[in-house]
Structure 1
Amino acid sequence: MTQPIKWLQDEIADRMLQKLDIVKLDVKDILIVPDFPGNHLGAIAKRYPNARTFSIAEEGVSGMQMWRAKAISNWRSAFASNTTALAAFRSSGIFNLPDNSVDLVFSDLLMQDLPDPKHFLSECWRVLREGGLITFSYLGPDTGKELRSLSIPELKLKNLLSPWDMHDMGDALLSERFSDPVMDMEYLTLDYEKPVLLLADVSALKLIHPTPLAINEMSVLPPKLTLEVVYGHAWAIGKHLAKAKDNVAYIDLNQIGRKTRSDSA
């Protein structure tokens, strides 16, 4: 997300937190990816006052900016927080965290921009502790559907890198060993008084290649933009089990308890 659309990221983060109201989870460590100086920081700090946060900051957001935002939101946990850059994850594909190190992964409007969301899910599985939770949102394939019917050669549309609907994502969660995935979706409609404002948001959402349009071309742009927002969460349960192959899970013999005579006595 670029700066003009931060309000949307904040709004969706608030809706994600509302969905967590019914979830009971003991949280000591949280990974927020991508993180940004927004209202969600105060809400998360209030909900999990003793938790340590690990931020993978969005492009254009410095570690100092995140530190200051966290200090304002909750000074008690600011000094126990850690920030790295999203660009580092994009290049390496790895979170700079050890295995089994967080209880909650909070991901707001990221996966539509990833070429391989399954790898992202796999990495989340790696860093989550047993019984941990991933919660996320992303833009679904109907986002910007009004633009596809336009006949403007200069309007160079871009496809979302991951145009997955919620059923695709549910299947991906199960294939990456997450349990009990819950998916839902809503349509948001943004209305615009001026075409230039629509273009600014469309560009910020990475739905077009930035190219200038003539006045007569801008006049045929729609006065609204549809966003398909997909939400989901799933649990990391059974991490001691080996990954299933051909629908069969293989368990190390050392993980099977052996009953002794004293146990049965």
Structure 2
Amino acid sequence: MTQPIRWLQDEIAYRMLQKLDIVKLDVKDILVIPDFSGKHFSAFAKRLPSACIHSIAEDGLSGLQLKIAKTIANWRSIFRGGRVSPMTNYLSTGKFDVPDNSVDLVFSDLLLQDLVDPKSFLQECRRVLREGGLIAFSYLGPDTGKELRSLQTTPFQLKNLLSPWDMHDIGDALMGERFSDPVMDMEYLTLDYETPELLLADLEALKLVTLNPQLESEMTVLPQKITLEVVYGHAWVLGKGLSKSQDSVTYIDVNQIGRKTR
């Protein structure tokens, strides 16, 4: 996603933070992925001033923007150890630059729809979350841009979201990755447009189309609105050290075996 829909990224993050108001969580360390121009980093710095914030910055940040974000993180790190790393590192390695069992909250705003395999993302989140930690996320569901499907000819190439998972798919994946008490909900947002140019700019930013400048003069009749399916979810990491099953065999850590006393 890029600058034309910065307002959407900020609005969804605001709604996510409202949902977290009712969650009781002792947060010492946070991982924000992605951090859009450092704005989410700043929001958490104000909301949880004593927390250490690890920030994975979105792709496309200018060198100056990334430097500012790193400066803020390094200033806080004098006391709390915060850090900033680019999203390209995660996308190339599939790993966060964060140690195991090191954060209490993973906050992910509008990312999962751009990942080929959300399950590996959930696995990585579980790796870095401490016992009792929380993952909170939002993403665009498969009904996003459904108005475009009826178009016969277009000056652009329609694209599907990389992850077509609906909220039930993600809920099942959370359970499959041994997260506890997942809560999922969804809402539809409708965006209305006065001009086709504004619509196309947002569609490209949402990665729903690839524009062909040579065909833009052949503009077809476009819808004046698009629907966004916004899915929200959160789940806990509980019983992280408990037994686990593999190939129908259950493995139990020796430290879990205790003697019952009266």
Q: Considering the TM-score relative to the shorter chain, is it more than 0.5?
A: yes
Matched residue, 1:198: 199
Report deviation, 1:49.
Answer: 1.2
Q: 1:93 to 1:226 in 2, by over 3 A?
A: same
Amino acid at match of 2:23: V
Matched residue, 1:122: 123
Where structure 2 has 5 or more consecutive residues not aligned to the other structure, the ranges are none
Matched residue, 1:86: 87
Where structure 1 has 5 or more consecutive residues not aligned to the other structure, the ranges are none
Matched residue, 1:77: 76
**Contact 1:71 1:78 (C-alpha < 8 Å) held by counterparts:** no
CA distance in 1, matches of 2:6, 2:216: 27
CA distance in 2, matches of 1:53, 1:67: 16
Matched residue, 1:226: 227
- After superposition, residues 159-170 of structure 1 pair within 5 angstroms as 159-170=160-171
TM-score (norm 2): 0.91
CA distance in 1, matches of 2:34, 2:169: 22
SS in 2 for 1:222: coil
Matched residue, 2:60: 60
- After superposition, residues 2-81 of structure 1 pair within 5 angstroms as 2-37=2-37, 39-61=39-61, 65-66=65-66, 68=68, 77=76, 79=78, 80-81=81-82
Amino acid at match of 1:83: V
Matched residue, 1:137: 138
Report deviation, 1:4.
Answer: 1.1
Report deviation, 1:62.
Answer: 5.4
Q: 1:86 to 1:75 in 2, by over 3 A?
A: closer
TM-score (norm 1): 0.90
CA distance in 1, matches of 2:121, 2:224: 35
Higher strand content, 1 or 2: 2
Count of residue pairs the alignment pairs up: 259
SS in 1 for 2:158: coil
Q: 1:83 to 1:144 in 2, by over 3 A?
A: same
**Contact 1:192 1:198 (C-alpha < 8 Å) held by counterparts:** yes
SS in 2 for 1:104: strand
Report deviation, 1:37.
Answer: 2.6
**Contact 1:41 1:70 (C-alpha < 8 Å) held by counterparts:** no
SS in 2 for 1:122: helix
Report deviation, 1:65.
Answer: 2.4
CA distance in 2, matches of 1:58, 1:190: 24
**Contact 1:241 1:249 (C-alpha < 8 Å) held by counterparts:** no
